[in-house]
Amino acid sequence: MSRRFYLDGRWGQVHGIEAGSGPALLLLHQSPLAASMFEPALPHLAAAGLRAIALDTPGFGGSDAPPAPASIIEHAEALLPVLDALELESVHLLGHHTGAAIAAAFAARWPERLGQLILNGVPLLSTEERAHFATFRFDPLEPRADGSHLIAAWEQRLRSSPGWSDIRAMHKHVVTMLANPERYFWGFEAAFAYDIAPDLARISVPTMVLTNTGEDLYAASVRAAALRPDWALAALEGGTHDIVDEQPEEWAQMVARFCSSGDA
């Protein structure tokens, strides 16, 4: 059974969900979602003997927002008081998409606080990829009397999720985005402004790049793994960037298997 909690962070309260006991695994979500994206996998991670802790990035979900959009490095630094509040000297860390950027920035600067690192969908983007993903960002979703802002959010999510197959996941994630209509795009802007390549080169902890062949960062993830022959690379077949909803048990098995190769 999962448990919800709040703790004091850099910019106010941070909301999280955890399940299980054992070595701790901190989970950082993609933009513009929240810790709830990991809920389908939490029971499987717990069953594998992990204490899985999913956080809402500040400004998303139930976590208080910073006073202004924060950089990826600032978000990484903001994990330090979270780890202290959780009384975790060392933790396994997994980040998905924007969460992977935050995880990479953290690992490059505070390796002594980490066991294993998993980068799930690495935003090592080419110029063409940056231009492509930038088209998915749209202005704050100001409520309109005719509800057209709701249709705009739905259509945007459909367009940015080629190959989608899980209608309930689509609904859940659009609702999550709409919960923060004035700042849902902050994570995208932070990720696009962050050059992940130098930090990938600096990472010294055991690392796995996790991806799936149908996700939009598959090519970028393979490219990132090729930069570091000392890293593991694992890929699930098919799916989209909603792989945790689509293949939760298989995803959790890959994560748990890598975490079990080192103790946090």
| Three state DSSP letters for 30-51 | CCCCCHHHHCCCHHHHHHCCCE
pLDDT at 120: 98
Cβ atoms of 194 and 71 within 8 Å: the answer is: yes
Low-confidence ranges of the chain (pLDDT < 50): 263-264
The number of C-alpha atoms within 13 Å of 183 and in the hemisphere containing its C-beta is 16
Place of tokens 């389908």: 40
Please report which residue ranges of the chain form alpha helices under DSSP H: 42-47, 72-77, 79-85, 98-109, 127-134, 148-159, 167-178, 186-193, 197-202, 218-227, 243-246, 248-259
| Spacing of C-alpha 198 from chain mean position | 20
Cβ atoms of 88 and 187 within 8 Å: the answer is: no
pLDDT at 264: 47
Query: Model-level pTM?
Result: 0.95
pLDDT at 138: 64
pLDDT at 130: 82
Domain ranges of the chain: 3-129+185-259
Helix (H, G, I), strand (E, B) or coil at 126: coil
pLDDT at 262: 63
227 Ramachandran zone, left/alpha/beta (phi>0; psi -120 to 50): alpha
Contacting residues for 2 by C-beta, under 8 A, at least 6 apart: 17, 18, 19, 39, 42, 43
Torsion over CA: 264, 46, 35, 4 (sign): negative
Phi, psi of 147 (to 5 degrees): 75, 10
pLDDT at 203: 98
Cα–Cα distance, 41 to 55 (Å, whole number): 14
Pick among 3.40.50.1170, 3.40.50.300, 3.30.70.1560, 3.40.50.1820: CATH of 3-129+185-259: 3.40.50.1820
